[in-house]
Amino acid sequence: MIPERCLTTTPMTGLARRMLQLWHRQPADWPQLADGLAALRQATRRSWPVCNALVSAQCNPVRLASASAGIDPASLAKRPCQLCLDRLPKQQKAIEYRQDWLILCNPAPLFDPHFTIASKSHQPQRISPALDTMLALTRDLDGAYTVFYNGPKCGASLPDHLHLQAAPIGALPCERELASRICGNDGNSARRWIDWVRDDPVRVGLTPHCYRPGVILVGENSDAICQGVALVMTLLNKINPVEPESMMNLLITYTEDRWIVWIFPRQAHRPSCYGSGPNHFLISPGSVDVAGLLIVPRPTDFDRLTPKVIGDIYEQVLFSNQQYAHLRSLLVEHE
């Protein structure tokens, strides 16, 4: 039984508008979100040229808990699940989405607005039961938001409860980079930047490894997109076998009646410099980070950041040159 506070009787049309209304109402009733928004507005920001692109960093101490969260079974067993319905704060409201999901304001926002889309059932973080929802949600939001997924070993601080996140479209550097390539003065810029290796049933391309190695899928049919993502996941697992699923971060937008999917293949959960000591960096990369917005909870770490440190973090958590070349070969050769 869903508590009355979580129900909505408004028709599904205008979902993006209803989410924005929720976002504007919640800070007045929910101090935790008000504090999170205040921290976001006071966050320090800088940008550096890294990996042939501009990488931004946001120093946001409110993200300390998620960056330092242990995700091993023992750590998860010690803390209550923050996304289970019976443990949500009383002040936190929700929009019910397609019966099985709740759209919630994120109390430690990286964007204004920033939403968490949580499964009503307590089940582990996996892409297979979430992908259809990601595609439907981006379409139902009329392209106003990018929806992203952190794998259980790729930035999810709550890997025991299936959830997604949503940010305003264009808020992530990878989106702006793609738009600038497509809209640049040189009409061939996007074609040179994206190495298209497959066309049917969806277009599949790869960004240059000297950028941040990622796979881009573009298509108008949701079933075909699902098949394309499944193929990439299968190939990733051949290159870097990991349980419970291939290591990756996934982002989806919907524009001009088609989906654009980014998949960033991963080889590690956290970089070797990760830690809470004075010589470490408390940076635990997820989708937002690999998409070009590095989240830094500790001001001391932020002050020590350099393009080399950021480049090393990407190099350690994303696919290597060799792995990326192998992935390209498998995509080209697959029948």
Residue 80: per-residue pLDDT: 87
Q: Which residue has the higher pLDDT, 184 or 295?
A: 295
pLDDT of the residue at 282: 95
User: What is the pTM for the complete model shown?
Assistant: 0.92
Average pLDDT of span 207-219: 89
In whole angstroms, give the CA distance from residue 109 to residue 58. 11
Give the separation between CA 321 and CA 48, rounded to whole angstroms: 22
SS3 content of the chain, % helix, strand, coil (to 5): 35, 25, 40
116 vs 197: CA distance, rounded Å? 33
| Token pair for 175 | 């989106």
Rounded Cα distance, 209 and 193, in Å? 10
Looking at residue 13, its pLDDT comes to 53
pLDDT digits (tens, 9 = 90+) for 11-67: 335 999 999 999 999 999 999 999 999 999 999 999 999 988 889 999 999 898 777
Does the domain at residues 4-8+16-37+46-333 carry the CATH identifier 3.30.428.70? yes
**Do 231 and 197 contact (CB within 8 A), yes or no?**
no
Q: How far apart are CA 146 and CA 253, in angstroms?
A: 5
pLDDT at 190: 53
In the numeric block, the tokens 């958590």 are attached to 317
Other Cβ atoms less than 10 A from the Cβ of 97: the count is 20
Average pLDDT over residues 268-278: 94
Nearest to 131 by CA among 57, 217, 46: 217
User: Both tokens of residue 333?
Assistant: 């050769």
Query: 240-257 in b/e burial notation, b at 16+ Cβ within 10 A?
Result: bebeebbbbbbbbbbeee
Q: What is the pLDDT of residue 93?
A: 96
Q: Which of 241, 76, 236, 90 is nearest to 159 (CA)?
A: 76
Enter the tokens of residue 306. 């350099």
Q: What is the pLDDT of residue 176?
A: 85
**What average pLDDT is seen over the chain?**
90
User: Greater confidence, 187 or 19?
Assistant: 19
Please state the length of the chain: 335
Handedness of CA 217, 211, 46, 181 (dihedral sign): negative
Q: Residue 211 — very low, low, confident or very high, per pLDDT cuts 50/70/90?
A: confident
Ranges 64-73, 96-105, 231-240, 269-278: which has the least confidence = 64-73
- What are the strands of the beta sheet with 94-97, ordered from one edge? 94-97, 101-105, 115-119, 163-168, 145-150, 248-255, 258-265, 215-219, 203-206, 195-198
The span from the CA of 273 to the CA of 92, in Å, is: 36
Q: What's residue 208's pLDDT? A: 82
Cα separation of 190 and 167, whole Å? 24
Q: What is the 3-state secondary structure (H, E, C) of 221-276?
A: CHHHHHHHHHHHHHHHHHHCCCCCCCCEEEEEEEECCEEEEEEEEECCCCCCCECC
- pLDDT, tens only, 95-143: 999 999 999 999 999 999 999 999 999 999 999 999 999 999 999 999 8
User: Do residues 174 and 214 make contact, with C-beta atoms less than 8 angstroms apart?
Assistant: yes
Q: Give the whole-angstrom CA distance, residue 255 versus residue 307.
A: 32
**187: pLDDT strictly greater than 80:** no
pLDDT in tens, 310-334: 999 999 999 999 999 999 999 999 8
Confidence of residue 7 (pLDDT cuts 50, 70, 90): very low
What does DSSP say about strands 248-255 and 258-265: parallel, antiparallel, or unpaired?
antiparallel
Radius of gyration of the chain (CA): 19
With bands split at pLDDT 50, 70 and 90, how would you rate the model's confidence at 182? low
Given a contact cutoff of 8 angstroms between Cβ atoms, the answer to whether 327 and 239 are in contact is yes
Cα 271-117-255 angle, rounded to 5 deg: 90
Structure confidence at residue 52 (pLDDT): 82
DSSP state of 4: G
Identify whether the C-beta of residue 57 lies closer than 8 Å to the C-beta of residue 296: yes
Provide the 8-state DSSP code for 5.
Answer: G
pLDDT band at 8 (very low <50, low <70, confident <90, very high): very low
